[in-house]
């Protein structure tokens, strides 16, 4: 199962954001929903090993997409990067091919 997103800002809150960035952010929940449907479908039609592989690849792809959206917003609007107090390179892990 893919993670659920929190509530997105109301329409009026997007007035200062360029349309391309807004479209990418607003499209992402639809990508997650589509991915979740794909996961359910795979669990019904393929072997458990194949379903797990599909889930891992999809989660990695969506994670990289989310990071790209965040990078774009941070760069365009001068937002600071999120510094988590953990020693794990998300980008490296998400970009690594699954086994």
Q: pLDDT tens digits for 32-48?
A: 999 999 999 999 999 99
Q: What is the pLDDT of residue 87?
A: 75
Give which of 85, 94, 39, 38 is closest to 62, Cα–Cα. 94
Share of the chain above pLDDT 90, in %: 36
Share of the chain above pLDDT 70, in %: 92
Does the predicted model carry a pTM greater than 0.85?
no
The two three-digit tokens of residue 88, written as one number: 């794990």
The two three-digit tokens of residue 46, written as one number: 């393929």
| CA–CA separation, 61 and 68 (whole Å) | 11
Give which of 33, 15, 97, 31 is closest to 69, Cα–Cα. 31
Give the pLDDT band of residue 27 (cuts 50, 70, 90). very high
| CA–CA separation, 66 and 70 (whole Å) | 6
The two three-digit tokens of residue 85, written as one number: 């107090």
| CA–CA separation, 14 and 9 (whole Å) | 7
Q: Is 60 exceeded by the pLDDT of residue 51?
A: yes
């Amino acid at each position: 199962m893919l993670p659920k997103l929190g509530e997105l800002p109301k329409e009026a809150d997007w007035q200062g954001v360029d349309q391309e960035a807004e479209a990418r952010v607003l499209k992402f929940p639809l990508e997650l929903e589509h991915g979740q449907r794909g996961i359910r479908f795979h669990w019904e039609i393929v072997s458990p090993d194949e379903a797990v592989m599909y889930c891992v690849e999809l989660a990695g792809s969506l994670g990289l997409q989310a990071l790209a959206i965040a990078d774009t917003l941070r760069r365009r609007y001068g937002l600071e990067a999120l510094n988590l107090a953990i020693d794990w390179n998300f980008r490296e892990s998400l970009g690594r091919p699954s086994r």
